[in-house]
Amino acid sequence: MGTWNVGLFKVTEIEEFVIQLGLLNGLIPQATPEVIRELGWLQPQYVNDAGEIRANVHSIVVDTGDTKILVDAGCGNGKSYPMQPSWGGLDTPFLERLEKAGYGREDIDIILLTHLHLDHVGWCSMQDESGKWVPTFPNARLILVRDEYERHLSQIISSDALDSSATAAAQGEDESEEDRIARAFLPDAEALSNQTRLIQEETFQPVIDAGHLELVPPGTEIVPGVRYVSTPGHTSAHHSVRLESDGQAAFITGDFFHHPLQIARPEWSSAGDWDAEVLTKNRRAFLESAAGTDLLVFGTHFVEPSVGYIVKDGEGYRLTPTTPATQR
């Protein structure tokens, strides 16, 4: 982890945890060990000798001088994640690492989330001494793209709807289009609905109760030089974050890219992407525009070296890492 300068901004990565080797096997179906070995620049930093993906979960603090912004909020401690139990009930020293980097809980002014999957939202809340969920950063506004928040809420299916769909299926009754879709994916839909409900209760509701949630349109400039950039594909309203200060620029990916593999192969979709075709189109356009420029790219799940520049590599692209101004 380290700190980079983007013009007058100070940008610091705060690691939460390294993802267990093997856990992401199959995340990118095309990324077989044989194919990965053809991309020699990925080893040993981003994949190991066995062709397994190396990745982590971290947040990024953007300090503009006037405003301190946390971009993406990891998994958090003690959360209920039945769809990814290895990331639930965590007890990591994330807040201690944040403080070591110079930021206490009270210092964060804004939280920006690229999207609302469980490994990007968790530290919006924490448990107090009584076990109650409260905002982790008591002075921070949580700013979300409205369309992404509404997408998140739409995944919560009422128990009545689930029961009705199951009953109709059992009795062979006529169903609406929505019911047929729900029934076709009933086991997944029910699990996803339950997980989303838990995230809403444990993570977002404490912030809502505190009056700190702010919903904004796509592409909003949050403060001067910090802007949401629409990058749909992983989710329908996924947004990355662009920084501009004193003639320099940076781009925080979120899950627009899960792994540097997808810089080399932008058509390689991750399991769970909303629309692989849309994502591929958007990635290729981004890579074409960024290649050979001084745009500094921060990969949200990239292990060290996690920050670099996009350059042409034959018919494709690669990441050329850059060292931080300050190593932590």
| Spatial distance between the Cα atoms of 309 and 140, rounded to a whole number of angstroms | 31
Looking at residue 175, its pLDDT comes to 42
**Domain range spanning residue 26?**
2-327
Looking at residue 177, its pLDDT comes to 39
Token pair of 69 as six digits: 């912004």
Helix 186-199 × helix 146-154 angle, to 10°: 130
Q: Is residue 165 over pLDDT 80?
A: no
Helices (H), the chain: 33-37, 94-100, 146-154, 159-171, 177-184, 186-199, 205-209, 261-264, 276-290
**Domain count within the chain:** 1
CA-based radius of gyration for the chain: 20
DSSP code at position 222: E
Looking at residue 272, its pLDDT comes to 84
Q: What is the CATH number of the domain that holds 200?
A: 3.60.15.10
pTM beyond 0.85, yes or no: yes
Q: Is residue 324 over pLDDT 90?
A: no
232: preceding bond cis by omega (within 30 degrees): no
Q: Is residue 166 over pLDDT 70?
A: no
242 with 249: CB under 8 angstroms?
Answer: yes
DSSP code at position 270: P
Q: Is residue 168 over pLDDT 50?
A: no
Looking at residue 328, its pLDDT comes to 55
126 with 76: CB under 8 angstroms?
Answer: yes
Greatest mean pLDDT among 26-30, 251-255, 312-316 lies in: 251-255
Q: Which of 16-20, 28-32, 218-222, 276-280 has the lowest mean pLDDT?
A: 28-32
CA 204, 226, 17, 22 torsion: positive or negative? positive
Q: Which of 41-45, 74-78, 218-222 has the lowest mean pLDDT?
A: 41-45
What percent of the chain has pLDDT above 90?
Answer: 76
> Which residues does residue 9 pair with via DSSP β-bridges, in sequence order?
6
Averaged confidence pLDDT in the chain? 90
Look at residues 44, 56, 58, 45 and name the one whose alpha carbon lies nearest to residue 14: 58
Looking at residue 159, its pLDDT comes to 56
Specify the 3-state DSSP secondary structure of 168. Answer: helix
Taking the CB of residue 243, how many other CB atoms lie within 10 A of it? Answer: 24
